[in-house]
Structure 1
Amino acid sequence: MSGAVHPAGAARGGAVRGAWLVFAVGAVAYVVTVLNRTSLAAAGIDASERFAVGAGTIGAFAVLQFLVYAALQVPVGVLMDRWGPRRLVVAGAVLMAAGQFLLAVSTDVPHALLARVLVGAGDAATFVSVLRVVTNWFPPQRVPVMTQLVGFFGQFGQVLSVVPLVALLHGAGWTPAYLAVASFSALAAVLCVLVLRDAPPGAPLARSVVPLRRVAGDLRETLRQPGTRLGLWSHWATPFSGNAFATLWGYPFLVSGQQLSTAGASALLTLYTVAAAVSGPVIGTLVARHPLRRSWLVLTVVAGQAVLWALVVALPGPAPLALLALLVVVVAVGVPGSMIGFDFARTSNPAHRLGGATGLTNVMGFTASLLLVLGIGLALDVQGAGTPETYRLDAFRWAFALQFPLWAVGVAGILVSRRRTRALLATQGVVVPRVRDAVRRDLAARRARAGR
């Protein structure tokens, strides 16, 4: 599926000088952001013991972080359109450093919740801003792949949260571990100040200087684009399973539910990170080569996740390790798969509305994620399995079954918005061929190239 409008991006034949250095610093900023976002992924049991709380409260830590993230997406998008992305990336790193410092020294729940608010706010400002930097520095035909490369490198933040951070937690202790995360965040802020730039020298910046009272009107216009709504629902349906698994509930599910060792659970979470990183460039390449088939990629990702989770929750006992590994891989693909939603937003809106469109898209995935994270915690509590001592597999099965209604809503939204997007494209003379016809055309083109 292609959108209706192609914004003015980096209209160059290739990346300009210095683009890769800027990209590298932006990628480092996102690595640190993912480390901050997932820093409770393998520390849920430690946090439960440190703050003497159950699963519902631990889930509230992640939910509050997601809620702040989602609530700030539209304001961040609007501010990015007005101020540029560099300032927001720096501000995000500073906020995350402050949040992790507070978490490092906290021993009570209110201060810990405030710490996660700061982390969520900093996280909210970073990702969409790095994506805008990429859009400004690279030509449009390379943006889908470059966007996936941002996600590829960002997954190393997940590795940092499940390997060295866990080692620090179990060695030096809680405070040194989270002080280390705060230090990395401060270092990222310094690097962004020194190197990151909004756009290449001399390039025009698509800044929106409209009064704030017109912002609501621009957002309404953005939402009227069916391609934007297709991006919203694509981002709703794809990432929540992986976000809930990697951010909080995957480690307890694997250790306490599936009876894996801590080393085995950490290995599967590392596999999750590798799968997300490796699949990202593949999805980016497919999106760039087949822009009229992006929605089919999204639906394929969702179907794979739903089938694997159905198999795992239907088993009467612990799942075989091979099935758990396959589940982790398929769930991980949802993270780069969710990037397709941003591509719909990018190709469906002019440049001066791109920040708001990206923010609206990002809201959807994290809204679904926070609903699932909160729902799992509450479902465990209701079943009397709300503490590490009482976690059990049957309770986790019912809790993770909450994913299926979320997928149903997302798929319905995708199908409806896709039909309306295709109708709009038809009025512009763009006809989306049937899958069968497109496959035949591609095969014929390959045969023709081979016969040259």
Structure 2
Amino acid sequence: MPRDRPRRPTFAPGGVRAWVTFGLGVVGYGTAVLGRTTLGVAGLSAVEHFHARASIIATFVVLQLLVYAAMQIPAGVLLDRYGSRRMLTLGLATMGIGQIVMAFADSVTIAIPGRMILGAGDAFVFSSVIRLLPSWFPPRRVPIVTQFVGLSGQLGQIVSALPFAWLLDARGWRTAFLAVTLTALAAAALSWTFLRDRPPGIPAPVRPAVGMRANLRAAARHPGTLLGMWTHWTTCFAPMVFGMMWGFPYLTQGEGVSKPTASLLIGLLAVVGAIVGPMLGVLVQRHPLRRSNLVLAMVAAGLVPWLLVLLWPGPAPLWLLVALCAGLAVGGPGSAIGFDFARTFNPGHRLGAANAVVNLGGFTACVIATQLIGLVLDAAGDGPDYTLGQFRLAMAVQLPLYAVGIVGMYLTRGRARRVLAAQGQVVPPWREALRREWRARTRGLNRPRV
């Protein structure tokens, strides 16, 4: 009898099917960011449309983000249980319903529930897409494709800052928001029809015999997860506050920039993020033990220009506003490193819960900053014509949040490195790392990943 031949594997990680799955995830997340950031462009229009004060319009975003943050843990637990396909479809369809409510809302009491529905749907999207990647790509490629997922979010923000803004001015409130509604529902249909949680023939991750609560507790207490959360907090909140709510009003009313120029500056967040993201993914792949140092550099890139803008005598020059937007832009790719911490410090069966904890960081800080800015503006002036000084006073509330995040990163990084040391993986000092790098270069060896 002929000997049995070994079967060929039915799936090669990172092949065509993987990239099709990735493309569907990119469409879903880009659509979610488009829906999430529409009010950042429509903020001034919302003041006129609803005849409301700035703090009331800020409440739209705050409640949206509060619901988003509150839903992170349930979304992560459900994601680990039911998979990305179902949760991504549910999230996008729910966002579409929220946008329908916004399109037909003619009062604050109707619009606020619409934004809350949108936030609930949004909570499922990014974690669902990130959850797909380790199943479809080899581990060495996951940091890079994660950055490309973040890039799709930047593209969604470009659509919000340019085509949506044009449609809002040209066709009005209802038409603009109905267009976003159709986009969300179409993305939901694509996800349900074509997306799969894992390659054919690959079994689902084995779940240990513990309850969902114990699984969540283990993820939330791990120093690596907490390092990811503080990473997300510190890198993510400032660009979100700027892009989702207060950047456009600050530039146009505070700094006196024209609306077209302000739209281009907001769009610059996405363009720079698109350039930086893939490069950052390569750096994370090559130097996984130096991820926290990369994060701190990303934080400095946004914080230093903000300090210069806030302290500048009179309106800031255009070059400084460009530097501010470019610096804030790197925070988006930087925040993706938080999910890489969650991936490398947690087993696959609790990755959804760990990602949810990480995602909670930046959005919690964004909620706090967005509401505080609105409250300070209302306390400083009667609106809607706020002065540059009033805007700068309000924007300065972000500085303590930066400080909290940086301290949190330093504390949890030390704990995470002690966990690595207990496992036999010691992070060498910079001097030793550079010495190894130099020796490898001079000897023509592959560079060590330190």
TM-score, normalised relative to structure 2? 0.94
Match of 1:340 among 333, 337, 341: 337
Query: Cα 1:256–1:16, aligned 2, differ >3 Å: closer, same or farther?
Result: same
The CA deviation at 1:206 is 1.7
The CA deviation at 1:17 is 4.0
The CA deviation at 1:443 is 2.8
Unmatched tracts of structure 1, length 5 or more = 1-11
Match of 2:65 in 1: 66
Maintained 8 Å contact 1:16/1:200: no
The reply on whether 1:256 has 2:249 as its aligned counterpart is no
Match of 1:294 among 291, 296, 300: 291
Match of 1:397 among 388, 392, 395: 392
Following the alignment from structure 2 to structure 1, what is the Cα–Cα distance between the partners of residues 107 and 87?
30
The reply on whether 1:448 has 2:447 as its aligned counterpart is no
Tell which deviates more after alignment, 50-59 or 435-444. 435-444
The reply on whether 1:438 has 2:437 as its aligned counterpart is no
The CA deviation at 1:282 is 1.2
The CA deviation at 1:393 is 0.7
1:115-167 Cα deviation digits (max 9, x unpaired): 10111111111000001112211111111101000011221111111111111
1:397-443 Cα deviation digits (max 9, x unpaired): 11111111111111111111111111222122111111122122223
Query: Cα 1:168–1:175, aligned 2, differ >3 Å: closer, same or farther?
Result: same
Match of 2:362 among 361, 365, 385: 365
Match of 2:183 in 1: 184
Corresponding pairs, count: 436
The reply on whether 1:270 has 2:270 as its aligned counterpart is no
Matches within 5 A, 1:16-27: 16-27=15-26
Query: Cα 1:188–1:326, aligned 2, differ >3 Å: closer, same or farther?
Result: same
1:55-101 Cα deviation digits (max 9, x unpaired): 10110011111111111111011001100011011001111111111
Following the alignment from structure 1 to structure 2, what is the Cα–Cα distance between the partners of residues 114 and 224?
33
Maintained 8 Å contact 2:13/2:136: no
Following the alignment from structure 2 to structure 1, what is the Cα–Cα distance between the partners of residues 132 and 362?
21
Matches within 5 A, 1:151-170: 151-170=150-169
Give secondary structure in 1 for the equivalent of 2:425. coil
Maintained 8 Å contact 2:77/2:216: no
Give secondary structure in 2 for the equivalent of 1:115. helix
Maintained 8 Å contact 1:301/1:337: yes
Give secondary structure in 1 for the equivalent of 2:168. helix
Match of 1:171 in 2: 170
Instruction: Report the residue type matching 1:239 in the other structure.
Output: C
Give secondary structure in 2 for the equivalent of 1:239. helix
Instruction: Report the residue type matching 1:155 in the other structure.
Output: Q
Query: Cα 1:25–1:370, aligned 2, differ >3 Å: closer, same or farther?
Result: same
The CA deviation at 1:224 is 2.7
The reply on whether 1:39 has 2:38 as its aligned counterpart is yes
Following the alignment from structure 2 to structure 1, what is the Cα–Cα distance between the partners of residues 442 and 48?
63
Tell which deviates more after alignment, 247-256 or 166-175. 166-175
Give secondary structure in 1 for the equivalent of 2:330. helix
Maintained 8 Å contact 2:301/2:330: no
Following the alignment from structure 2 to structure 1, what is the Cα–Cα distance between the partners of residues 176 and 428?
54
Match of 2:86 in 1: 87
The reply on whether 1:322 has 2:326 as its aligned counterpart is no
Maintained 8 Å contact 1:26/1:130: yes
Matches within 5 A, 1:133-152: 133-152=132-151
The reply on whether 1:242 has 2:239 as its aligned counterpart is yes
Following the alignment from structure 1 to structure 2, what is the Cα–Cα distance between the partners of residues 329 and 439?
29
Maintained 8 Å contact 1:83/1:207: no
The CA deviation at 1:210 is 5.9
**Higher relative contact order (Cα pairs below 8 Å, separated by 6+ residues):** 1
The CA deviation at 1:208 is 4.4
The reply on whether 1:105 has 2:104 as its aligned counterpart is yes
Following the alignment from structure 1 to structure 2, what is the Cα–Cα distance between the partners of residues 55 and 66?
17
Maintained 8 Å contact 1:22/1:197: yes
Following the alignment from structure 1 to structure 2, what is the Cα–Cα distance between the partners of residues 260 and 341?
34
Query: Cα 1:54–1:207, aligned 2, differ >3 Å: closer, same or farther?
Result: farther
Tell which deviates more after alignment, 200-209 or 164-173. 200-209
Give secondary structure in 1 for the equivalent of 2:201. coil
Following the alignment from structure 1 to structure 2, what is the Cα–Cα distance between the partners of residues 21 and 426?
39
Following the alignment from structure 1 to structure 2, what is the Cα–Cα distance between the partners of residues 57 and 108?
11
Match of 2:379 among 378, 382, 394: 382
Maintained 8 Å contact 1:82/1:208: no
Maintained 8 Å contact 1:84/1:207: no
Give secondary structure in 2 for the equivalent of 1:361. helix
Tell which deviates more after alignment, 36-45 or 417-426. 417-426
Following the alignment from structure 2 to structure 1, what is the Cα–Cα distance between the partners of residues 221 and 120?
28
The CA deviation at 1:209 is 8.2
Following the alignment from structure 2 to structure 1, what is the Cα–Cα distance between the partners of residues 104 and 208?
41
Maintained 8 Å contact 1:99/1:118: yes
Aligned-residue Cα RMSD (Å) equals 1.5
Following the alignment from structure 2 to structure 1, what is the Cα–Cα distance between the partners of residues 209 and 324?
47
TM-score, normalised relative to structure 1? 0.94
Query: Cα 1:207–1:180, aligned 2, differ >3 Å: closer, same or farther?
Result: farther
Match of 1:416 in 2: 411
Instruction: Report the residue type matching 1:19 in the other structure.
Output: A
1:23-53 Cα deviation digits (max 9, x unpaired): 1111011111010010111110000100010
Unmatched tracts of structure 2, length 5 or more = 1-10
Instruction: Report the residue type matching 2:444 in the other structure.
Output: R
The CA deviation at 1:447 is 2.9
1:344-373 Cα deviation digits (max 9, x unpaired): 111111111111100011001100011011
Following the alignment from structure 1 to structure 2, what is the Cα–Cα distance between the partners of residues 156 and 356?
27
Query: Cα 1:400–1:257, aligned 2, differ >3 Å: closer, same or farther?
Result: same
The CA deviation at 1:16 is 3.6
1:282-323 Cα deviation digits (max 9, x unpaired): 111111110100110111111222211111000121101001
Following the alignment from structure 1 to structure 2, what is the Cα–Cα distance between the partners of residues 444 and 111?
65
